[in-house]
Structure 1
Amino acid sequence: MKKLLVVLAAIILTPSNLMAQDSEPVRLVIQQNGQALVTEQRTLTLPKGPGQIVLPNLPASLEAQTLQVHSKTSPKSLEIQDFALDAELLSPSTLLRRHVGKQVTLILPDGKTRDGRIQKEATVLSTDETPLFLMDGRVYSGPVESISYPELPENLGPKPRLTLNLVNSGPARQALELCYLAQEIGWSMDYVLTMNKAGSSALLSGWATLSNRSGRDFKNARVELLAGEPRTERAMPIRAFAAKAALMADSANMQSEELFEYHLYRLPKPISLSDQQSRQTQLFESATIPVTRKLLGRASALPSGREADPTKENLDVLLSFRNTAALGLGAPMPKGTLRAFQVDGESRHFLGAAPLDRTAVGSLAELRLGQAFDLSVERVVTDYEKTGKNSYRAAWELRITNAKKQSQQIVLQEQIPGKWKVESASGKWNKVSANVLEFVVDVPPSPEGKPLVLTYSFNTEL
């Protein structure tokens, strides 16, 4: 079927029981999991005694089971008996489904001329897969140019509507506070780390990106960003969207405060966050911090018994810094993505990106940016035997090459299972954990590719 064109002669979207209302500023507490707590206040004219009011302009992703409503003006005089949420939204498919068994007008090709059209009265029989119509006493499932509907079904609109059944013994004019959870409103964190040419220090800045795909605009909202991992039992949202827009917000340094076992960041100014929009704001002022680079290799030390040829081990490039006030930071850092750059004169180069876990004050942040190009390790099994039912002996030769012009320090962590003991080693080693043997090696430049050779042997009982 061709794309349906919905033709509505007249649509009255304002129901007769909708009272005049004034919207107040909205408060958003946004989580990183795409969920937000929305608190808004609406001033309405309420009926005396039993009655009902309709609240429009709610997010399409509202979780109805989380909704709370109470009067700010006269809490004891207003009783909310129940509420109904009309969550089905106006669309061509829902409009057609609501007219099953009812008559509509079809605009069809006349079959005689290229641009000719005819109108036919028809009854909607089914909307599963290809719609079926009863027309001129026969079932029709052919092409339809458009459908004209005689009316808009009750309680069907472009956004969800909330109907409150209440008993009011207080003043007619009251301020109602609505509090609810909505999906498709979230925030993410991005860090930019720009290192100097020597790689000894870097400028770090943090930006928060707010996104709204809830189906509702929020104007001049007071926004707080919640960093942490609150557990949630998520219901399916009424509707979800995929489009994006980008807009830069006013940047300002924001201080965090503790909330339960989480951290809360208050944006200093109200912001407007339209539906289908993303907005970026600076969460931390830029700080110059010392950074440390480490080349790390990790490998299993217990051979499989099938190693016939030498194997190559790549070295990870790790960048680390400590989150302390003395070093220029000293604020809780939410989880996010860090992208590292290096400045060389007027040039800027991208070094890599890595996820940054939430980093408390005083903690060490360590990120894997990529793999070293000029250093490599060739691993050769020189001895391997089973010495008992659950015991083994193995020996390794590690051939390390350095194509740089300067010596480089690398860290090799050999992972050994069971209860192990080193028999011999050509370099100094440390037992950094129950299953890790570590070598810290200064590797000089390798003339003509001649490697530095490190050997060790061990026995272990599993």
Structure 2
Amino acid sequence: MKFRMFYLIGLFFLVQIQVQGQDKVHLTIYNNNLALVNETRDVKIVAGESIMEFPDVASHIIPASVLINVKNSPSSLQIIEQNYEYDLVDGNKIFDKYLDKEIFLQTEHSGEVTGTLLNRTHNDLVLQMPDGELLVMAMKEILSTRFSKLPEGLRTRPTLLWKINNSGTASRVLDVSYLTNNISWQAEYVGELNENDDKISLAGWVSIDNRSGKTYKNAKLKLIAGDINQKKYLRKEARMVETLMSADQPAFEEKSFFEYHLYSLKRPALVKDRQQKQIMFIEPTTAKVLKEYVYNGSIDARAVAVQIKFRNSEEDGLGMPLPAGVTRIYKADDDGSKIFLGEDNIKHTPKDEDIRLKIGNAFDIIGERKELYNNKLSKRSNERAFEISLRNHKKQAIEVRVIERFHGDWRITESSLPVKEKTADKAEWLVKVPANKESKLTFVIRSQW
């Protein structure tokens, strides 16, 4: 079937034809406060030029992103102009539109008063009475106001208007797509460590936050995980949201799409405006984990971080692309009650990659970092020596991963322990610390720039 596509940027006119209903809705949501709305609607269009109304679009639509496919006889329908009407009804706007027009007031002491509105402030308004006299009335005395009709230009819903020219059939099928801001999604994970801290039960939820100004009914929901390139648009102020937790079972299909990952909900979804909605997409899955103690004295001279590390592989219980999101970790106490241990963010993680989550800082392990000397060798080089002390106040021996980061061209000339891992800007050691003991690491680094 041949389609004609129109990319529209425009401003214009009034309404003669209104597109009725939503036959089909696809909603594709991105991580960065953006969604693509795709609606298919059946319409009746008169012959010749007319103005067609496409109501109930998202109030945070990006008007220049509108794309129209005319699915039947596209060559006989011409889109001439477009206008996005978003001047919505409220009391202040109605008063503004009724300047120099007749209004009807119900007052506390004078009953009904009729006159021409000349001015209005927060405190009072000025009416010209039928006999020509002026009446200044305090706003607090007004119980209600009646207006003869809705002023021209105000709308109850955000609406697209098109000036069109139809030289063909009246019955048309329009496929309309546009981008909107103020709707986003993220993954949120919940993990529970076992008694020995070597396994985790991990579940994943999709959290959708819709503040786009539109409710999407029976929508085919798709989620894109990945970092798309997007020009920054001005955002309107966010509104308060109400929260809904869905008890649905996992129902997403995942696949690679372009350079991203696409998650499609198998059933139609209701995504209400001003709502947060959670849908499970990973059932509780047990994976192997390794608890690590990590010391980076250049960032925090005393704290030793507690991390858990696991591999996103089928062998270790996972093996699926994991979109970025917050991971919250719990553990059961002896009486079965759950204790919250901490939370951290994970990045978009393909399968067969490692994930490290910082849970917090160890209470019973203290680090100390000292610079023993700093000798200048030349104008562009120096030599420094460091001592790392790790004190373990726990009842069992531990192993601490010590991380040091360096800049420029550098090499370690001396070290009391072998370097475990080295990259262009980082060196790592594994330091064993007996129970209730202290261990030290010393090293010398020579740098030039």
Following superposition, the deviation at residue 220 of structure 1 comes to 0.8
Counterpart position of 1:343:
332
Tell me how far apart the structure 2 counterparts of residues 82 and 239 of structure 1 sit (CA, whole Å).
29
Counterpart position of 1:460:
447
Aligned 8 A contact 1:192 1:339 in 2: yes
Structure 2 counterpart of 1:399, from 382, 385, 389:
389
Structure 1 counterpart of 2:429, from 427, 439, 444:
439
CA distances 1:350-383 after superposition (whole Å, capped 9, x unpaired) = 1111111000122211222211111111233333
The question of 1:325 aligning with 2:314 is answered yes
Following superposition, the deviation at residue 33 of structure 1 comes to 1.4
With over 3 angstroms needed to count, the CA separation of the structure-2 counterparts of 1:17 and 1:288, relative to structure 1, is same
Counterpart position of 1:204:
202
Following superposition, the deviation at residue 430 of structure 1 comes to 4.4
CA distances 1:316-368 after superposition (whole Å, capped 9, x unpaired) = 22222112222222221111111111234523221111111000122211222
1:56-95 equivalences in 2 (<5 Å): 56-95=55-94
Counterpart position of 1:246:
244
**1:36 alignment partner AA:** A
Q: Which range moves more in the overlay, 179-188 or 417-426?
A: 417-426
Counterpart position of 2:3:
none
Counterpart position of 1:143:
139
Following superposition, the deviation at residue 297 of structure 1 comes to 1.2
Following superposition, the deviation at residue 236 of structure 1 comes to 4.0
Tell me how far apart the structure 1 counterparts of residues 278 and 303 of structure 2 sit (CA, whole Å).
37
**1:133 alignment partner AA:** V
Tell me how far apart the structure 1 counterparts of residues 51 and 15 of structure 2 sit (CA, whole Å).
11
Counterpart position of 1:382:
372
The question of 1:293 aligning with 2:281 is answered no
Counterpart position of 1:372:
362
- Flag as ranges the 4+ runs of structure 1 deviating above 6 A: none
**1:72 alignment partner AA:** K
Counterpart position of 2:96:
97
Counterpart position of 1:26:
25
1:34-433 equivalences in 2 (<5 Å): 34-108=33-107, 110=109, 119=113, 121-125=115-119, 133=126, 135=128, 140=136, 142-144=138-140, 145=142, 146-236=144-234, 240-248=238-246, 250-300=248-298, 312-345=301-334, 346-430=336-420, 432-433=422-423
With over 3 angstroms needed to count, the CA separation of the structure-2 counterparts of 1:434 and 1:166, relative to structure 1, is closer
Which consecutive unaligned segments of at least 5 residues does structure 2 have?
1-13
**1:367 alignment partner AA:** L
**1:272 alignment partner AA:** L
Aligned 8 A contact 2:370 2:388 in 1: yes
Between Structure 1 and Structure 2, how many residues are aligned? 430
Following superposition, the deviation at residue 439 of structure 1 comes to 2.1
With over 3 angstroms needed to count, the CA separation of the structure-2 counterparts of 1:431 and 1:325, relative to structure 1, is closer
Tell me how far apart the structure 1 counterparts of residues 345 and 111 of structure 2 sit (CA, whole Å).
59
Percent same amino acid at aligned positions? 28
With over 3 angstroms needed to count, the CA separation of the structure-2 counterparts of 1:430 and 1:96, relative to structure 1, is same
Which consecutive unaligned segments of at least 5 residues does structure 1 have?
1-14, 111-115, 302-310
Following superposition, the deviation at residue 173 of structure 1 comes to 2.1
**1:455 alignment partner AA:** T
Query: How does the TM-score come out when normalised to structure 2?
Result: 0.86
CA distances 1:155-177 after superposition (whole Å, capped 9, x unpaired) = 31221122222222322222221
With over 3 angstroms needed to count, the CA separation of the structure-2 counterparts of 1:419 and 1:175, relative to structure 1, is closer
Tell me how far apart the structure 2 counterparts of residues 22 and 420 of structure 1 sit (CA, whole Å).
67
With over 3 angstroms needed to count, the CA separation of the structure-2 counterparts of 1:430 and 1:245, relative to structure 1, is closer
**1:98 alignment partner AA:** K
Aligned 8 A contact 1:22 1:44 in 2: no
With over 3 angstroms needed to count, the CA separation of the structure-2 counterparts of 1:405 and 1:28, relative to structure 1, is same
With over 3 angstroms needed to count, the CA separation of the structure-2 counterparts of 1:198 and 1:274, relative to structure 1, is same
Tell me how far apart the structure 2 counterparts of residues 36 and 416 of structure 1 sit (CA, whole Å).
42
Following superposition, the deviation at residue 88 of structure 1 comes to 0.8
**1:335 alignment partner AA:** A
